[in-house]
Structure 1
Amino acid sequence: MAERSEEVKLLGMWASPFSRRVEIALTLKGVPYEFSEQDIANKSPLLLQSNPVHKKIPVLLHSGKPISESLVILEYIDDTWQNNPILPQDPYDRATARFWGRFVDEQIYVTAMKVVGKVGEEKDAAVEATRDLLKLLEKELVGKKFLGGERLGFVDIVATLVAFWLMRTEEVVGVKVVPVEMFPEIHRWVKNLLDVDVIKKCIPPEDEHLNYIRARMDRLKLKSV
């Protein structure tokens, strides 16, 4: 098992929630890996060769074999290194976890991105649409320490996108998309996440991250003009 761990390389980007979730999983499993920072604006030959279909990070290289798409990578990690399981063992619970993982990426993330660069009524509509989706996540957290139950799991790792990207972006866009009075369960969950050493180790430094978000949003605004 140790030999296999030494052959792990992650092509990622420090500020990407999709890249960071893979780091969380590898760290949780205790898998040593090499991190290769990628310039998204100037993609490396290794990235293009490893993910010729989407040409995106993250890509996990294990024994030279590439695995793309963060949700797929998380399942691969869980299947390959079976200590500290991420996904539930019960088939129904595993299917449910996969459902919520896709919900975060395909619904919450896609809708929340529409808040960026919008103004007036369009921005208000995007905020409300995002909140409607987050209400479903809020309901799912009632009575639970984590989305995975009493311990950190697959959905929690995926949903760090909400906790440390969407909620940090609020400071930049100037709108409280996830106000505590509307989403007390989500805010309680974020505090629980911050008590987990692996999470604290694997999320971007807040000040540096906020500077990056501001710069990225400025670029997006320029493109929309």
Structure 2
Amino acid sequence: MNEFEYRLQRFAEGGESGGGESEGGEASGSILGGASSDPQLPEPAGETNSSGEEGTEGSAPQKGEAGEGAPETYDFKAIVPEGMEYDEKSAGEYSALARECGLTQEQASKIASYGMNLMKGNAEAAMQAMQQQRAQWAENAKTELGADFAPTVAKCGVAMEALDRKIPGLRQAFDETGAGNRIEVIKAMAMLGELIGEDRGHSAGGGAGGEAPIYGNTNFNLY
């Protein structure tokens, strides 16, 4: 990848919106959260003279020469795809390179538009693949647990309710990352929920005064 393509890619990536959210702006849920290409751009071919060398008449300006059609400043705000943000710094770097190559506003805009739409398409494809992976994790968990799915999720709910009070945002973290659909995480949270349930049972009607801690009978040094 040459310097021009590298700068173009940086310009496109700079405006890419981030997030772990779906296109509608809502994070995909999870079982635990709810528990109670690099194509090369063609280089313009110059005309050749009788000796086989590239001529200057009618050809694109050579690198290092500002072309007659190159403006002092470029404006790319109108071509930013929906859902992407305009990056002033990256646009400035790309503008300097476009001016050096003698590109007109129209030529520079066409290349920039191609690059940004390419990056947006790649980002959307990656997001779709991630959502499909999360859905597959959920199906795998339901299949593996079978008839134990509902009671296992109920145990997870006990752990989630206890931990969510101590760690605000835990449910959201499981939803955003998709980890709440992994069978390994579900089993671990179910085990913790079962321990918490046993502690509550042991402490019921226990000592006088004050509320018994929810982990009072759990020795975490054993885990």
- Which TM-score band (shorter chain)? under 0.3
The TM-score with structure 2 as length reference comes to 0.22
Structure having greater relative contact order (Cα 8 Å, sep ≥ 6): 2
The TM-score with structure 1 as length reference comes to 0.22
